[in-house]
């Protein structure tokens, strides 16, 4: 896939620093899995973390700390392989959260043919899969916080650009956009928000609360 | 980048080449074009970690501990971790370094960078949060010899970045440090660092392109 829309640097840096809510981290981990540009930039931000640690003036460990750990070393078996992760049509971190591939997603209709599936994360932000029929609009919604949307299948367009597989659109409070799935193929996206989406034309407020959308 | 997922064999670092800590391939390259400051050679953390990996070398481990454990402790405490928990986390970080030495890839990252990622992950665990990791790359058939120039570059990057950080205006330097100590929320983190990160990105991208070609 040809990826044209990448993760903004400030979010890669926040992810490298371990400062992003789980929901956004999942979108970044999924994108980096398929994007070497962002994988390399992430490595650079992790190298920056290494340099920060290296130049930090140390605080002495308590007396006997090294000896205590040395005494335990023989009981610590070497680890030479990482845990095998699921393989399928989606990147491994996303499959971890779905508990399988796309056919394992438990979709729920939210109106106008659009379906969603919330993925389990801590509540500091939410992340969901969205299934939008080809040619259908994702109704206009405003944002009160950060939103990241990664295309997994198909494509959508909004006022700004076209977003195809692997692309990530980042929106904040300034943007009031109306993405439309391209004709020809249903669009499946992974979308994280740190504020509830406020759909302005589709679902009553009460239903939003009920559906956690 | 997930740093703990690679298995790269370095024939030159196998036990049958027992003088890895002495001037070997890596060491010889290190001395080229390097200005030795204060008249003393800096420790070669990569070589020490490879000794831990290949020989469970406890003396090498102790040297790594004396260097990194106090830094990781300070790193955690600056982010607000209490002294007792920081101490406990450092012990876990260093235990992980011992256990996962085989997963360290010296062509991808310096020891300091690897230690940082372990410490970061331990801090996230301590906060009972989660940080999904990208898919690992299969860095290729075991036995592939990493490019020694890359091993050298990866080790040098930490030093160069550290020097570049030291040259930044105070305000900018403090913002970067606070971001990594975990004092800034993601909305407060700005990406403009004024640091030469492009060279690191280029090196990694080249490695990734080579890898993709090998995978065909």
Kindly report, residue by residue over B129-181, the tens digit of the pLDDT.
Answer: 999 999 988 765 444 567 788 888 899 999 999 999 999 999 999 999 999 99
> How many domains does the structure of chain A reveal?
1
Tell me the backbone φ, ψ of residue A139, rounded to 5 degrees: -55, 150
Q: Give residue limits of the domains in chain B.
A: 11-215
Q: Over its length of 213 residues, how does chain A's per-residue pLDDT go in tens digits?
A: 789 999 999 999 999 999 999 999 999 999 999 999 999 999 999 999 999 999 999 999 999 999 999 999 999 988 888 788 888 999 999 999 999 999 999 999 988 899 999 999 998 899 999 999 999 987 555 566 888 999 999 999 987 799 999 999 998 766 667 789 999 999 999 999 986 555 544 444 445 555 555
Between CA B188 and CA A70 the distance in angstroms is 40
| Residue A30 and residue A165 in contact, taking contact as beta carbons nearer than 8 Å | no
| CB within 8 Å: A25 and B132 | yes
Which residue range(s) make up the domain with A201? 1-77+86-213
Mutate to test the interface with A, among B164, B180, B203 (most CBs of A within 10 A): B180
Work out the minimum CA distance from B161 to partner chain A, whole angstroms. Answer: 6
- Cβ within 8 Å of A, B 59-118: 61-62, 65-66, 68-75, 77-78, 86-87, 90-91, 94-95, 98-103, 108-110, 112-117
Work out the minimum CA distance from A49 to partner chain B, whole angstroms. Answer: 6
Backbone dihedral region for residue A105 (phi beyond 0: left; psi -120 to 50: alpha; all else: beta) = beta
| Residue A93 and residue A30 in contact, taking contact as beta carbons nearer than 8 Å | yes
Q: What is the CATH number of the domain that holds A143?
A: 2.60.120.10
The pair of three-digit structure tokens given for residue A9, joined into one six-digit string? 């640097």
What ipTM was predicted for this assembly? 0.90
| CB within 8 Å: B132 and A51 | no
- Cβ within 8 Å of A, B 3-22: 3-5, 7
CATH 3.30.70.270 fits B11-215, yes or no: no
Residue A157, strand partner residues:
A162, A180
- Sign for the CA dihedral angle at B113, B115, B119, B121 comes to positive
- Chain B residues touching residue A18 (CB < 8 angstroms): 120-121, 123-124, 131, 182
């Amino acid at each position: 896939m040809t990826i044209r829309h990448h993760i903004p640097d400030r979010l890669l840096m926040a992810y490298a620093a371990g400062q992003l809510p789980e929901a956004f981290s999942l979108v970044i981990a999924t994108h980096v899995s398929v994007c070497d540009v962002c994988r390399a930039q992430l490595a650079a931000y992790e190298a920056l973390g290494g340099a920060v640690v290296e130049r930090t003036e140390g605080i002495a460990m308590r007396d006997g700390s090294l000896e205590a750990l040395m005494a335990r070393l023989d009981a610590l078996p070497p680890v030479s392989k990482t845990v095998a992760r699921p393989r399928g049509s989606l990147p491994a971190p996303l499959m971890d959260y779905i508990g399988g591939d796309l056919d394992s997603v438990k979709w729920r209709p939210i109106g106008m043919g659009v379906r969603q599936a919330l993925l389990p994360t801590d509540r500091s932000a939410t992340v969901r899969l969205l299934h939008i029929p080809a040619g259908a609009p994702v109704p206009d919604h405003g944002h009160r916080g950060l939103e990241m949307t990664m295309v997994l299948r198909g494509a959508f367009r909004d006022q700004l650009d076209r977003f195809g597989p692997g692309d990530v659109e980042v929106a904040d409070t300034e943007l009031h956009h109306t993405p439309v799935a391209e004709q020809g193929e249903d669009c499946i996206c992974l979308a994280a928000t740190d504020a509830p989406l406020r759909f302005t034309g589709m679902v009553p407020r009460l239903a939003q609360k009920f559906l956690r959308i | 980048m997930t740093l703990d997922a690679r298995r790269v064999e370095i024939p030159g670092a196998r036990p049958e080449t027992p003088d890895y800590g002495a001037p070997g391939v890596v060491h010889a390259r290190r001395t080229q074009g390097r200005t030795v400051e204060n008249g003393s050679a800096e420790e070669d953390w990569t070589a020490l970690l490879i000794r831990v990996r290949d020989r469970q070398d406890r003396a090498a481990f102790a040297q790594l501990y004396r260097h990194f454990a106090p830094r990781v402790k300070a790193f955690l405490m600056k982010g607000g971790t209490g002294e007792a928990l920081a101490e406990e986390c450092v012990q876990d970080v260093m235990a992980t370094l011992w256990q996962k030495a085989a997963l360290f890839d010296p062509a991808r990252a310096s020891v300091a960078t690897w230690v940082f990622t372990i410490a970061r992950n331990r801090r996230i665990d301590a906060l009972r949060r989660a940080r999904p990791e990208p898919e690992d790359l299969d860095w290729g058939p075991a036995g592939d010899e990493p490019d020694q120039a890359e091993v050298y570059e990866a080790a040098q990057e930490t030093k160069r970045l550290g020097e570049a950080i030291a040259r930044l205006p105070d305000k900018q330097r403090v913002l970067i440090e606070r971001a990594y100590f975990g004092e800034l929320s993601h909305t407060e983190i700005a990406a403009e660092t004024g640091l030469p990160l492009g060279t690191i990105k280029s090196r990694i991208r080249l490695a990734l392109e080579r890898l993709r070609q090998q995978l065909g």
